A and B are shown apart, each in its own frame.
Chain A
Amino acid sequence: MSSEYIHNHFAEYAMESHFLDEVFDKNKKVQPHYEHIIKYFNEISLPDFKNINEYSKMTFYNQGITFAVYSDKERGVERIFPFDLIPRIIPNSEWNMLEKGVIQRNIAINMFLWDVYHDRKIIQDKIVPESLLATSPNYFKQMMGVNPIGKIYTHVSGTDLIKHKDGKYYVLEDNVRVPSGVSYVLSNRDAIKKTFPNLLLKHNVCSVQEYPIELLKVMKSVAPESANDPECVVLTPGVYNSAYFEHSFLALNMGIPLVEGRDLFVEKNFVYMKTLYGPKRVDVIYRRIDDLYIDPLAFNPDSVLGIPGIMKAYTEGNVTLLNAPGTGAADDKAIYTYVPDMIKYYLAEEPILNNVHTYRCELDADLKYVMENMEQLVIKPVDESGGYGILVGSKANKEEMENYKIKIKANPRKYIAQPIMSLSVHSTYIEEADTFEQRHIDLRTYCLMGKNKQYLLKGGLTRVALKRGSLIVNSSQGGGSKDTWVMHE
């Protein structure tokens, strides 16, 4: 190709020096592992790129990877989750460290859950204070003494990581309840395959296609012993749930039924599904319904999504639930601060991944610091997810801060604070401006744990905060995503 066809989309690319850019170094030189991609994109004219972007949006739309916007007046308006065409690359050496670190962390968390629902040694040894569990809304007494098959609680976990300006990865959250988003990892890869097949061919990228196979293996590995050919299902709240696409995607790709609560019933502590030909026993349920809704008899009596009696069937060992109920006790954001201690305590190893330094508002000294340094901190409720209820000190005005202080004082246990981490930035196509700009990104990983096996999906979901300057990457709050490439050695 002659040079006159080569564009330079990044000539005007604005670099903010206090952030780490994954693609360009401080002198605006392309990082070696991104050279091919940048060259490839510079061979595409902007109008062409715009068309390709529209085309890729259309493929998501046609696949039904959409969510309904109920607030809009227009009937039947559906949106896609924004997908950015520039992939994020993680070099093999970095990935190996991440993989070891995430697995180490999740093994420790799983051991912690076994411990707190059995002997509670970590509490007796005063590593984790008892008050933290006693006040956790996600610690379920019903789970005391229950023995999940293979001692696995967190079959599926979604650890969130960021890369700080010091070039190191930090764990932001351990999502061990019902982490979502893995279908986007596979769909994003599919979209890149459709739009830039040659680009993918030239790079030696680890495949992500095997995730459903690995998940099914995990499900089968933890089936009750009484089941010789285990019937596995995915349990969804239904078509109106915003993650329904993912639920059906996983069921379809594993080749197992997608059921709703109303398809199941419990008889004599066994779970059955209502089929065309009568009841059929169910052995393993990958449930995408929160603990509190899963059984109206055990938890929220108003739940219409759940299956009455399923907790009893579970505690009797007649059905396996993924993840186990009560795992929320471990992804409380206050418990998070103790994960490095758990790793040392249970595994006698040094933590491979860093925690972000966290101030616990329930401690007087920490509370004082938080109150006095609010503008430099991110403050989060310990028991919420999806980016809700967060205050970013540097972005809040005086009134917002004062109101937030009142909330913290009323219930210090509910809040933690962390220094504002400067999430790394990545070149991202900005539709409105028809140009490429820096945007903050993070990384959600997907870790599976079965009987005697751990698996980390080689890739993950790079979430990108599409609003300029925003640090909040959640899809419910204006976030998009990128295909994430882990390179083979």
Chain B
Amino acid sequence: MLARIANSLFWMARYLERSEHLARYAKVHQFSAIDAPEAQNKEDLLMSILKNAGMNYLYQKDIGNVNEMDVIYYVLLNLKNPYNIISSVSSARENARGARDSITTEVWEAINMYYHYINNIAQIPFDTDDTYEVTHHIFTHCAHIKGLIDNTLIHNDAWHLISMGLHLERATQICRIIITKTDDIANVPENELNESIQNYHWSTMLKCAESFDMCNRTYRATPSRSNALEFLLLNQKFPKSLTFNLDKAYNHMTKIAITKKSKDDFIFEMGKLVYTFKFLKIEEIDENIHVYLNATLDKMYEIAYRFEKSYLNY
């Protein structure tokens, strides 16, 4: 496979996954604000959307006033925002187009239809009443595309690259979600941090990663700090957990790898990261979770960067 195509497939997957997370985080927060406990500041929830997407500074420069309509529109469709969802989906599609001969007609058409859907939505007036419908379509498109990726491609290099991109991006997004949400909770004044507010935030976090049902099922309890964090970070069987995704990304990476495995190899680093998480207890990091996850994010960025440099250069 051409190195350029490999690059396109890797980034196609990352942008695809990114678009889905962007939409879900925004939707979950807009909806959870509707019936948030009284003590919860609504503006903080909207800020959380911007922070998670890394858009808070941009937003303050471009828009300023924090309100539901402007925030949701900014994240999804506002053309002032170069990182909006249209841009993610367009990039996914451009990459798919560049790698057209390495993916199936089914996958291509599904991505193309996703792009046209988003692009058409962007041409008509948007209202926050539309969030549910628009994001629902986004999730459906993404599920459709990912289903076709798994079921119409040969599970060879191309598929490993796409899968690696998906899992690496998801790992990154999950990490960001946890960082933002632990931040949100830390920002609640201590005298107001009652059980219902806590439960509310942990539930919201889990819903952002489609993990609410499975977490409840696993612990037979409603979400608390310890079970929510443990589930989303460390569960080895749940496809949205950080550990699960790091492990998957590592496996796909080793399938593509041809270089010798040496100690300074990024694959070695990736393996180390995966196994650290596999043998981690939540109590070990809970206290410094912020620092720990930021360091993890940096490691992932570094590994992805080195992977691209040594494999996808053309």
Give A contacts to B, CB under 8 Å: 61-64, 74-76, 234, 238-239, 244, 248, 251-252, 256-260, 262-263, 273-277
The CA-CA distance from A274 to B5 in the complex, in Å, is: 10
State whether B108 touches A64 (Cβ < 8 A). Answer: yes
A244 and B97 form a contact (CB under 8 A) = yes
Q: Which residues on B sit within 8 Å (CB–CB) of A62?
A: 109, 112-113, 116
Task: Contact check, B6 vs A276: say whether CB atoms are below 8 A apart.
Answer: yes
Enumerate chain B interface residues (CB-CB to A < 8 A).
Answer: 1-6, 79, 90, 94, 97-98, 100-101, 105, 108-109, 112-113, 116, 119, 122-123, 157, 256, 258, 311-312, 314
Cβ-defined contact, B3 with A274, below 8 A:
yes
Whether the pair B258, A277 counts as a contact (CB closer than 8 A) is yes
Which residue in A61, A74, A252, A263 is a CB contact (below 8 Å) of B4? A263
CB distance from B158 to the nearest CB of A (A): 10
| Complex interface: chain B residues within 8 A of A263 (CB) | 2-4, 314
Task: Give the residues in chain B near A259, CB-CB below 8 Å.
Answer: 2
Contacts A252-B105, A263-B4, A273-B2; is A239 near B116 (CB within 8 Å)?
Answer: no
- Given A258-B100, A262-B4, A263-B4, 15 more A-B residue pairs with CB atoms under 8 Å apart are A62-B116, A63-B109, A64-B109, A75-B122, A76-B90, A76-B119, A239-B97, A252-B100, A257-B2, A257-B101, A262-B314, A263-B3, A273-B2, A274-B4, A276-B1
Residues on A with C-beta less than 8 A from B2 are: 257, 259, 263, 273-276
Nearest A-chain residue to B93, judged by Cβ: A64
In angstroms, Cα B314 to Cα A259, docked, is 12
Inter-subunit contact A260/B4 (CB<8 Å):
yes
Contacting residues, chain A, for B312 (C-beta < 8 A): 276
Contact A251 B113 (CB under 8 A): no
Give chain B nearest CB distance to A297 CB in angstroms. 20
Least Cβ–Cβ distance between A199 and chain B, in angstroms:
24
Query: 29 A-B contacts, Cβ less than 8 Å apart?
Result: A61-B116, A62-B109, A62-B112, A63-B109, A64-B97, A64-B108, A74-B123, A75-B79, A75-B122, A238-B98, A239-B97, A244-B97, A248-B101, A251-B100, A257-B2, A257-B101, A259-B2, A262-B4, A263-B2, A273-B2, A274-B4, A275-B1, A275-B3, A276-B2, A276-B3, A276-B6, A276-B157, A276-B311, A277-B258
State the Cβ distance, A249 to closest chain B Cβ, in Å: 8
- Chain A positions within 8 Å of B1 at CB level: 275-276
CB of B218 to closest CB in A, whole Å: 39
Separation of A276 and B310 alpha carbons in the complex (Å)? 9
- How far apart are A4's CB and chain B's nearest CB, in angstroms? 39
Task: Give the 7 A-B CB pairs with smallest separation, nearest first.
Answer: A248-B100, A258-B101, A251-B101, A64-B112, A252-B101, A239-B97, A276-B6
* Minimum CB distance partner of B3 in chain A: A274
CB distance from A408 to the nearest CB of B (A): 43
Residues on the B chain within 8 Å of A275, using CB: 1-3
Expressed in whole angstroms, the Cα–Cα distance for A257 and B3 within the complex equals: 12
Q: In the complex, what residues of A have CB within 8 A of residue B112's CB?
A: 62-64
B-chain residues with CB within 8 Å of residue A256 when the two chains form the complex: 101
- Nearest-CB distance from B202 to chain A (Å)? 39
Q: Which of A259, A262, A276 has the most CB of B within 10 A?
A: A276
A259 to B97, CA, bound (A): 12
CB closest residue in chain A, given B161:
A276
User: With A and B bound together, what is the CA distance between A75 and B3 in angstroms?
Assistant: 30
A366 to B258 alpha-carbon distance, docked (Å)? 68
Q: How far is the CA of A251 from the CA of B123 in the complex (A)?
A: 34
Closest Cβ neighbor of A273 among chain B residues? B2
The answer for the CA separation of A331 and B79 in the assembled complex, in Å, is 47
Most buried by A among B2, B94, B312: B2
Q: How far is the CA of A390 from the CA of B112 in the complex (A)?
A: 36
Residues of A close to B6: CB separation below 8 A: 276
- Contacts of B98 on A, CB cut-off 8 Å? 238-239
Q: How far is the CB of A232 from chain B (nearest CB, A)?
A: 12
The CA-CA distance from A430 to B183 in the complex, in Å, is 61
Instruction: Please name all residues of chain A whose beta carbon is closer than 8 Å to the beta carbon of B314 when the two chains form the complex.
Output: 262-263, 274
Give B98's nearest chain A residue, CB to CB.
Answer: A239
A-chain residues with CB within 8 Å of residue B79 when the two chains form the complex: 75
| Minimum CB distance partner of A249 in chain B | B100
Residue from the set B4, B157, B312 with the largest chain A CB neighbour count within 10 Å: B4
Contact of B256 among A63, A75, A273, A276 (CB under 8 A): A276
Q: Which residues of B have CB within 8 Å of A61?
A: 116
Name the one of B3, B97, B122 contacting A248, with C-beta atoms under 8 angstroms.
Answer: B97
Chain A positions within 8 Å of B119 at CB level: 76
Q: Which residue of B lies closest to A264 (CB)?
A: B2
A194 to B283, CA, bound (A): 60
How far is it, in angstroms, between the C-alpha of A252 and the C-alpha of B105 when the chains are bound?
9
Residues from chain B with a CB closer than 8 A to the CB of A252 are 100-101, 105
A273 to B256, CA, bound (A): 18
CA distance A60 to B66 in the complex (A): 42
Highest count of chain B CB atoms <10 Å: which of A64, A238, A244 = A64
Q: Hey, which chain B residues are within 8 Å of A258, CB to CB?
A: 100-101
Identify the closest chain A residue to B100 (Cβ).
A248
In the complex, the chain B residue whose C-beta lies closest to that of A75 is B79
Query: What is the chain A residue whose CB lies nearest that of B312?
Result: A276
Assembled-state Cα–Cα distance A263/B90 (Å): 23
- How distant is the Cα of A274 from the Cα of B79 in the complex, in angstroms? 36
How many Å from the CB of A404 to the closest CB on chain B? 40
A115–B311 Cα distance when bound, in Å, is 47
Which B residues touch A76, using CB under 8 A? Answer: 90, 119, 122
- The answer for the CA separation of A234 and B2 in the assembled complex, in Å, is 13
What separation, in Å, do the CA atoms of A459 and B116 have in the docked complex?
Answer: 32
Closest residue of chain A to B118, judged by CB?
A76
The complex places the Cα of A74 from the Cα of B122 at a distance, in Å, of: 10
